[in-house]
Amino acid sequence: MIGYVLRRVGGAVPLVLGVATIVFFVMNLAPGDPSSLYAGPGVSPQALEEVRQNMGLDAPVHVRYIRWMGAMAQGDFGHSLARGQPVRDVIRDLLPNTLLLSGTALALAFLAGILIGVLQAVRHNTWIDSSLSGASLFFYSIPSFWLALMLILVFSLYARNVWGWPVHFPASGMTSVDHAWMTPWEQVKDRAMHLVLPATSLALVLAGGIARYTRTSMLEVIHQDYIRTARAKGLPEWRVIAGHALRNALIPVVTVFGLYLPLLFSGTVFVETVFAWPGMGKLVVDAIGQRDYPVVMAGALVFAVMVVVGNLIADVLYSVVDPRIRHG
Amino acid sequence: MTLLEVQDLRTWFAKEEGEVRAVDGVSFHVGEGEAVGLVGESGCGKTVTALSIAGLVPDPPGHIHGSSSIRLRGTELVGLPERRLRRFRGKEVAMVFQDPMSSLNPVRTVGSQISEVVRLHGRLGAREAKRRTVQLLREVEIPDPDTRYREYPHQLSGGMRQRVMIAMALSCEPSLLVADEPTTALDVTIQAQLLELLSGLRRERKMGLLLITHDLAVVAELCDRVVVMYAGKVVETGRVKDVFSQPAHPYTRGLLGSLPRIGSGRRRLAPIVGGVPDPAGWPSGCRFHPRCPHAWGRCSAELPSLRRRGGRAHGEEWTVRCWLEEEPLEPTPDVGKGP
C-alpha cells in the first residue's frame, strides 16, 4: 500500500512539471507584460526598459523559464508584484481558507449526494424518486456563481431586510468585523455562519451529479445476487442497504470524486470572488486583473497540485472500498 | 407434523406482456428431516417456488396469491408481515443459491458475512460469533478456517465459496434448507464433493432439504422423494425409487429418457421435442400436451388433476397429473424406461 502511494507520487512529479511548463509559457508568450503596469502611465521608454530589467523581463523567454523553474525547485515562488510579499507567504496565508471552503463543500456534497441517491434508488420509480431527480438535474445544470448570488439574495438580503427571519447568513468574508472581540466559542460560530452560503453554493452543484451517479450505481447493486443472499439471511431492509448494497454502490462514486475535483476548484474561483472569501480562487482572479504574473503562475500550479493529490486520494479510496483492487 | 406444507401456491408476476403465472397452483410437502428433489426444465417455476418459500419474491412485480398457503411447522408464512417473516429467514428456512460467484458480497470478508447471521439470529457477541463461524467453516471442510475467515470471496475458489454459502445457511441450525441448483455452476468433481458434504450435514442435523435441480442423477442420489414441475404446475410426485423406475407422466418419462446412460449400448437419446412454453401464456388443458407424444383430444381441452396412483403397492404418495392415468392407452410406447 505504502509502496503503491509512493509510486503514484513519483508518477505525479512529471505531471506537475508539465503543468508548470504550460502555465509558464501561456503566461509569458501572451502579449504584454506587467512592467508597464508597474512603471505607471506616461514614463519614458528608458525608464520602462529599466523597470523591465529590474523585473528580469528583458531576458529571453527560455532563460526566464529556466530561472523560474530553478527558483520553484528551491521553493521560491517569486515575489507578488501587487502585494509586495513573497508569493509563498501569500499562498501560506490563503490556501488554508480555500481548503476549508472546498473541503466543507466536498463533504457536504458527498453526504447529501449519496443520501439522496440511495433514497432515490430505494424508492425507485415513486414520486420521491422523480422529484429528487428533477432537483438533482436542476442543481447539476446551474453554475455555482449564479446559485451563490441567489443564495445571497434569499438567505442574506431578503432574509434579513425583507422577511426578517431570525436566522440569516453573512454575504461576504470569512469573519465579521468584530471577530477579534468575540469569545472563542462565538468566533467558531461566526466562522461557521460565514461558511454556510459559499459552501452550500459549491456543494449543491456537485451533490446533484453525485446523487445521479449514486442512484444509478445503487439500482444496479440492488439487483445483485448477494443482495438477495443478504435478504435471505433475515436482515432488516435498512441493514441490507447500509451493510451490503451501499459499499458496493460507492465504488463507481469514488471515480466521481476524482472527476469532480477540477469542477470544485474552478467553482471556488467564482464562489470566492462572489463571497469575497480570502482564498486561492479570489487571489488568482485578483492577480489576473493586476497582471501579477508570479501569483497567477503559482496559483495555477497550486490548483494543479491539488487536483493531482485529490486523484491520488481517489485511487487510495478505491482500494479502501474495494478489496479486489487491494489484493489484485 | 409436516415440516413444510405448500398448498396451491400461486406466484404471479405483473409484466408488460401481461400476467405471468410463473408458479400456478403448486402443492407439495417436505417432512421433518426429509430430502425432496424439485425437478423440471429451466423456466418451469422451480426457482420462483423456492423464493416464494423464503418470502424473497420481489413484490412488485411478483405477488403470492392470498389463497396460497406455505406452512412451516404449522405457521402460515403467506401474508405474514415482513418483520415476522424475517425471523424465519436464515433461521428456520435457509437458502443456498445457484451461483456462488455472485451470491457473496465482494467487499466483505467471508467471516463477517457468516457471523452476521449468527449474531442476528443467535444473539451472540462478536467474539462468540467469530468462534462459531470458524467452527462452521471447519464443518464445511474448509482448510485453515482462521485464515479464510479474514479473506474476501474473490480469494476463494467457486467450490470454496459454495462451502461458505452452505456454512452460512447452516449457521442457525435451520429446520429447512432450500438449495437452488447448488452445484450447477461448479465443475463435476467439486459437485460430487459438495453434494456428499451437503447430504452428510443434513443427516447429522436431521434437517429437511428441498433440493432444486435439473440434474436427475443428483436427486436419485440424495433425495427421498421427488416433485416434478412443468410449466408452473406439479405433474408428478412420489418416492424417488418409484418415480424414477416407473415414471408415470410422459414429461417425467421424457426427462429420464433424455439422460445418457452407461451400459445401455448405443441407444439414441430421446429428447423431449420443443421447449418450455412462455409463462405469459401457458397452453390450454394439460400444459404439456403440445410436446407430449401421447396427447389426445381431451389433453388440450381440460387440465387433468393431480391424482393418486390408485391400486398399487408403491406408497400412498405417488401422484400424477395426466389423463392417461384415468384412461390408460393400450400399449405403452417404449420411451425411456427407467433404470
- Say which amino acid occupies A167: V
Whether residue B325 has pLDDT greater than 80: no
**pLDDT tens for residues B169-181?**
998 888 999 999 8
**pLDDT tens for residues B278-307?**
878 888 888 888 888 887 778 888 888 888
> Using CB atoms, which residue from B86, B102, B117 is nearest to A236?
B86
Whether residue B334 has pLDDT greater than 60: no
What is the chain B residue with the closest CA to A321?
B107
Integer Cα distance of A204 and A106 in angstroms: 10
- Do the Cβ atoms of B97 and A229 come within 8 Å? yes
- Do the Cβ atoms of B89 and A224 come within 8 Å? no
pLDDT at res. B336? 44
**pLDDT tens for residues B61-104?**
888 888 888 988 888 888 888 888 888 888 889 999 888 889 99
User: What's the whole-number mean pLDDT along residues B187-206?
Assistant: 87
pLDDT at res. B25? 86
Higher pLDDT, A274 or B23: A274
Query: CA of A221, closest CA in chain B: separation in Å?
Result: 10
Selected for mutation to probe chain A from B84, B105, B147, B150 (highest A CB count within 10 Å) is B105
pLDDT at res. B310? 62
- Do the Cβ atoms of A228 and B97 come within 8 Å? yes
Whether residue B311 has pLDDT greater than 60: no
Tell me if A307 sits within 8 A of A106, measured CB to CB.
no
pLDDT at res. B192? 86
What is the chain B residue with the closest CA to A322?
B107
Chain A residues in contact with B88 by the CB 8 A cut-off are 234
- Do the Cβ atoms of A247 and B116 come within 8 Å? no
Residues 6+ apart with CB under 8 A from B28: B6, B36, B38, B227, B234, B237
- Say which amino acid occupies A127: W
> Using CB atoms, which residue from B87, B105, B108 is nearest to A234?
B87
pLDDT at res. B313? 57
**pLDDT tens for residues B252-267?**
888 888 887 777 666 6
Query: What DSSP state is assigned to residue B89?
Result: B
Query: What DSSP state is assigned to residue B13?
Result: E
- Say which amino acid occupies A254: V
Selected for mutation to probe chain B from A124, A217, A223, A229 (highest B CB count within 10 Å) is A229
- Do the Cβ atoms of A327 and B116 come within 8 Å? no
Query: CA of A210, closest CA in chain B: separation in Å?
Result: 21
Helices (H) and strands (E) in chain B, counts: 12, 13
- Do the Cβ atoms of A323 and B56 come within 8 Å? no
pLDDT at res. B338? 42
Query: What DSSP state is assigned to residue B155?
Result: G
Using CA atoms, how far residue A80 sits from A74, A283, B177, in Å, is: 17, 11, 75
Reported as a pLDDT band with limits 50, 70 and 90, residue B328 is low
> Which regions of chain A are under pLDDT 50?
none
- Do the Cβ atoms of A233 and B54 come within 8 Å? no
Closest CA to B78 of B175, B1, B5, B179: B5
Query: CA of B46, closest CA in chain A: separation in Å?
Result: 17
Integer Cα distance of A287 and A241 in angstroms: 49
- Do the Cβ atoms of B105 and A229 come within 8 Å? yes
pLDDT at res. B257? 81
Chain A residues in contact with B154 by the CB 8 A cut-off are 323-324, 327
- Do the Cβ atoms of A225 and B99 come within 8 Å? yes
DSSP per position, B215-236: -HHHHHHH-SEEEEEETTEEEE
> Using CB atoms, which residue from B90, B91, B152 is nearest to A323?
B152
**pLDDT tens for residues B119-178?**
888 888 888 889 999 999 998 888 999 999 999 999 998 889 999 999 999 988 889 999
Chain A residues in contact with B92 by the CB 8 A cut-off are none
Tell me if B123 sits within 8 A of B171, measured CB to CB.
no
Reported ipTM: the value is 0.84
Chain B residues in contact with A226 by the CB 8 A cut-off are 102-106
In the three-class reduction of DSSP (H, G, I as helix; E, B as strand; rest coil), residue B308 is classed as: strand
Strand partners, B35: B209
> Using CB atoms, which residue from B89, B102, B116 is nearest to A225?
B102
- Do the Cβ atoms of A229 and B120 come within 8 Å? no
Chain A residues in contact with B102 by the CB 8 A cut-off are 224-226
Tell me if A152 sits within 8 A of A171, measured CB to CB.
yes
What does the H/E/C string look like for chain A?
CHHHHHHHHHHHHHHHHHHHHHHHHHHHHCCCCCHHHHHCCCCCHHHHHHHHHHCCCCCCHHHHHHHHHHHHHCCCCCECCCCCCEHHHHHHHHHHHHHHHHHHHHHHHHHHHHHHHHHHHHCCCCHHHHHHHHHHHHHHHCCHHHHHHHHHHHHHHHHHHHCCCCCCCCCCCCCCCCHHHCCHHHHHHHHHHHHHHHHHHHHHHHHHHHHHHHHHHHHHHHCCHHHHHHHHCCCCHHHHHHHHHHHHHHHHHHHHHHHHHHHHHHHHHHHHHHCCCCCHHHHHHHHHHCCCHHHHHHHHHHHHHHHHHHHHHHHHHHHHHCHHHHHC
What is the chain A residue with the closest CA to B154?
A324
Residues from A contacting B (CB-CB < 8 Å) are 224-226, 228-237, 243-244, 247-248, 251, 321-324, 327
- CB pairs A-B closer than 8 Å: 74
Question: What's the half-sphere exposure (Cβ side, CA atoms, 13 Å) at B151?
Answer: 17
Chain A residues in contact with B87 by the CB 8 A cut-off are 234
Using CA atoms, how far residue A326 sits from A121, A254, A317, A318, B73, in Å, is: 28, 15, 10, 8, 46
Selected for mutation to probe chain B from A233, A248, A320 (highest B CB count within 10 Å) is A233
What is the chain A residue with the closest CA to B113?
A230
